[in-house]
Amino acid sequence: MDLLKISMMKQPNMRVALKAMIPLFIAGIYLFGWRVLALLLVNLVFGTLTEYMFKRKKGQKVSEAVFVSAALYTLILPPATPFWVSAVGIIFGIVFAKEAFGGFGRNVFNPALVSRAFVYVSFPAALTGSWTEVAKGFPGGFVKYLHPAIDTVATATPLHTYQSSMQLSDNLRLFLGNVPGSIGETSKVLIIVALIYMLYKKVIQKEGMIGMFLGFSVATFLFRQFGVESVVPLPMGLISGGFLFAMTFMMTDPITQPRTKEGKYFIGALVGAITLIIRSFALFPGGVMFAILIGNSFTPIVDEAVNGLKRRKKERSAQ
Tens digit of each residue's pLDDT, the chain (319 residues): 444 455 566 788 899 999 999 999 999 998 888 999 999 999 999 999 999 999 887 778 888 899 999 999 999 999 989 999 999 999 999 999 999 988 888 899 999 999 999 999 999 887 876 677 777 778 877 888 875 543 444 445 556 555 555 555 566 767 777 677 789 877 889 999 999 999 999 888 889 999 999 999 999 999 999 888 878 888 888 888 789 999 999 999 888 999 999 999 999 999 999 999 998 887 766 689 999 999 999 999 999 999 999 888 887 877 6
| Predicted TM-score (pTM) of this structure | 0.89
pLDDT, residue 152, reads 41
pLDDT value, residue 153: 44
- In the chain, domain spans: 1-197, 204-312
Residue length of the chain: 319
Q: SS3 string of the chain?
A: CCHHHCCEECCHHHHHHHHHHHHHHHHHHHHHCCHHHHHHHHHHHHHHHHHHHHHHHHCCCEECHHHHHHHHHHHCCCCCCCHHHHHHHHHHHHHHHCHHHCCCCCCCCCHHHHHHHHHHHHCHHHHHCCECCCCCCCCHHHHCCCCCCCCCEECCCHHHHHHHHCCCCCHHHHHHCCCCCCCCCCCHHHHHHHHHHHHHHCCCCCHHHHHHHHHHHHHHHHHHHCCCCCCCCHHHHHHCCCHHHHHHHCCCCCCCCCCCHHHHHHHHHHHHHHHHHHHHHCCCCCCHHHHHHHHHHHHHHHHHHHHHHHHHHHHHHHC
